[in-house]
Amino acid sequence: MPDSPLDLYGLGTDPSPAAQLLSSRQRRIGVAIVVVVAAAAVAAPLLTARLFVALCTAVYLAVAIFKGRIVRDAFRRVTDTEAQTPPRPPRLRDHELPTYTVLVPLFHEGNVVRPLVSYLGRLDYPADKLEIFLLCETEDDETIDVIRSIDLPAQFRLVVCPPGEPRTKPRACNVGLALSKGDLCVIYDAEDRPDLDQLRLAAETFAVADERVVCLQARLDYHNHQHNWLTRFFTVEYNHWFDLLLPALAQRDMPIPLGGTSNHFYSWALRDLRGWDPYNVTEDADLGMRIYAAGGCTGILDSVTLEEACAQLRPWIRQRTRWLKGYLQSWTVQMRSGAVRRRGGWRGVGAMHLLLGGTPTVNLLNPIFWTMFFYFAVTRADWVIQLFPGPMVYIAAASLVVGNVLFAYLNIVAVVHRERWHLLHAALLTPLYWLMMSWATWRACAQLVRKAHVWEKTPHGLSGADTDPATMTAPAPVAPRSAVGLSGATA
């Protein structure tokens, strides 16, 4: 364990891994690749273009096969679980429960503080074993003033983070981690509405889990999924990701890119990893990779946290830009460490590359290949055929059509699993959503060059007030559930 709480990223003197996008070795390799490709393009332009198209097709096909197999296994597992649901872990009495720290980073969110405090105050956990840190920046007078105007319950505490750079959510979380006294730790966002028994269930699950399980990821969902077309698309994506993909990754003992919230940790494990990387704008995905590389496991907690889906296009683009930029940051960091390969061999490395690098790569390629496909379908242009000699044209067409149909089908599976029939049309129209994703990915690549560490914050409280569980006059009922999906363990 670290010698002091200050041995956390962003609080000490050592640089964070993501503070530098590329190492000197990676820059040399990158320059060499650019020089070789440029020389090849001058000497043999057609051959170079064909090799580039073949490489892009291989990446597209690999991502499609990988995600298809993962979600196929997930769907089989879901149907088995419905037939025989594993029991909930043994219930712990209040005096047997560990101490718990809840970290809630806030920045210019005074409008959502009151419902947040009201809801978290209902959590089913002994108040004398619970501390809830409301983490604010020194210049955020609006949010700080609102918090100070509230008669906070005893388990709540306002924490004003000391000045420092970068001023990001992960740095604020590290400040809270340095002050925390809890055996367990969880992070919630300002708009989060976790199941009221989520902390208790997580503590009970950790008590029976394999010792390698140091993190539990609760499932995320949206309470405002019927607000507009964008929230419907976003909900379909989340149902696919948290109901199918992540549980299957956990079952296969593969690296898991965490969601940005509702991650439950052993506090000692977080400190061993030096907390979150404040320079990584998708610090959750990065932390999931580092947990795996360090020999730990992440389990999927059978509990739901409801969030507010971003309902406006411009904030959604900024949010998605940040997420994809962080995936690329995490990818470059993991490629130079080699720790994932040492832990999981080439299987783990392949999963890491396809998740962190493959996802944005496919987003970049989609509009290019779609345009070429439809252009050829209309014009029968010879230059398109020249890029796909021999059987390549059939392989590329199959990967394009079958791959996109497969991804749409997986979204349909996620909707059917949830029995959200009103979202079926959104699942069928997901190629339109992917065009927006491509826009955000190209924007993310541009930002990596100019402002790699800029954190574009997502505003909250813009929609969904009528569906927010915090506005209910009585606590939402808590249904019995079980802890499933533990990587390397059963509960």
* pLDDT above 70: percentage of residues in the chain: 93
Q: Could you tell me which of 169, 133, 181 has the C-alpha nearest to residue 276? A: 169
Compute CA 137 distance to the chain's CA centroid, rounded to the nearest angstrom: 24
The encoded tokens of residue 178 equal 């340095």
Q: Mapping DSSP to helix (H, G, I), strand (E, B) and coil, where does residue 401 land?
A: helix
Can you give the pLDDT at residue 488?
39
Can you give the pLDDT at residue 86?
64
**Angle in degrees, 0-180, between the axes of helices 359-379 and 392-418, rounded to the nearest 10:** 120
Residues 485, 302: Cα–Cα separation, whole Å: 8
Contact 236, 430 (CB under 8 A): yes
Q: Cα-flanking dihedrals φ and ψ of residue 392, to 5°?
A: -60, -35
Q: Mapping DSSP to helix (H, G, I), strand (E, B) and coil, where does residue 301 land?
A: strand
Can you give the pLDDT at residue 451?
87
Rg (the chain; Cα; Å): 23
Can you give the pLDDT at residue 10?
83
- CA 99-116-461 angle, to 5 degrees, is 145
- Give residue-wise pLDDT tens across range 382-393: 888 888 887 887
- Give residue-wise pLDDT tens across range 79-103: 665 544 667 899 999 999 999 999 9
- CA 144-150-155 angle, to 5 degrees, is 95
- Give residue-wise pLDDT tens across range 195-246: 999 999 999 999 999 999 999 999 999 999 988 999 999 999 999 899 888 9
Per-residue pLDDT of the chain (491 residues; tens, 9 = 90+): 444 455 888 887 777 899 988 999 999 999 999 999 999 999 999 999 999 988 988 888 888 888 878 877 777 776 665 544 667 899 999 999 999 999 999 999 999 999 999 999 999 999 999 999 999 999 999 999 999 999 999 999 999 999 888 889 999 999 999 999 999 999 999 999 999 999 999 999 999 999 999 999 999 999 999 889 999 999 999 998 998 889 889 988 999 999 989 999 999 999 999 999 999 999 999 999 999 999 999 999 999 999 999 999 999 999 999 999 999 999 999 999 888 888 988 889 999 999 999 999 999 998 988 888 888 888 888 888 888 887 887 788 777 777 777 778 888 888 887 888 899 999 888 888 999 999 999 999 999 988 888 888 888 777 777 788 887 644 444 443 333 334 333 33
Residues 377, 393: Cα–Cα separation, whole Å: 13
Residue whose entry in the numeric block shows the structure tokens 């976790």: 194
- The β-bridge relationship of strands 297-307 and 193-194 is antiparallel
* Domains, the chain, with CATH or none: 1-491 (3.90.550.10)
Residue whose entry in the numeric block shows the structure tokens 């020999």: 295
Residues 219, 194: Cα–Cα separation, whole Å: 9
Can you give the pLDDT at residue 3?
47
